[in-house]
Structure 1
Amino acid sequence: MCSCKEKPTLIDISNNHSDFKSKLNKLDVGNWVLLMQCPDCKQFYKVDEWDKYQICYAVKIPSLENWEAFDSESLIKEQMVQNRGGLTNGSCMWSGCDIKQVKGSAYCVNHLYSGGTRA
């Protein structure tokens, strides 16, 4: 039996990418992402292609429809803030940005994300 129900919506699979994928069926290939499905419960996942320089995530998605366009950005941003212990009282150092800095950074989560950070 699978453990899909116990898994969060956003799953960091950086340390077990191959193992995670081995339990799923690949249905489609997109731009640096895979559409995969659990053979037991039929849960769909949007899975990042392996990248040794970047955090890889799997995201539970509700359906096949527009799967590649499913927006996981807000989930990843939430995880980034959580991973770093929250926000500071200081404003982002990006010119004209008043959003609070992420702890351990001079920037807000939006500017960290736009710069390529995913951790």
Structure 2
Amino acid sequence: MNILLVDDEPDIVSCLTDCLELLGHQVDTAKSGQQALATMLHRVPDLIISDIRMPEMDGIKLKQSIPDHIPFIFMSGHLDDERALQSTGIKYRHFLVKPFKLAQLKASLRNVSSD
């Protein structure tokens, strides 16, 4: 699966990229929603995994800027972000609370793949 990973924290991007590649996925990365949109001009991902809180363009605005058919997993280190996200009515596949375990990421990927 081709995954676009969007997060402004380099350590998280590096760690998650390594994990996703070990699981057999191809990973493109972006530091912001704007950079993610630019990346998508060259390759449309099968899945987007994005942090919510980022400078320039946050994950919610990114999700609102892409077609609904691209599966989207949000992640955040703030529990209240999930409640705020649910109140927007935005459709997404999963929400991962940082720090999360590899097993949680694998389960989210399995659920997206089976849909």
Using CA pairs below 8 Å that are at least 6 residues apart, which structure has the higher relative contact order?
2
- Higher radius of gyration, 1 or 2: 1
> TM bucket by the smaller chain?
under 0.3
Q: Which structure carries more strand by proportion?
A: 1
Q: TM-score, normalization: structure 1?
A: 0.24
More helix per residue: 2
TM-score (norm 2): 0.25
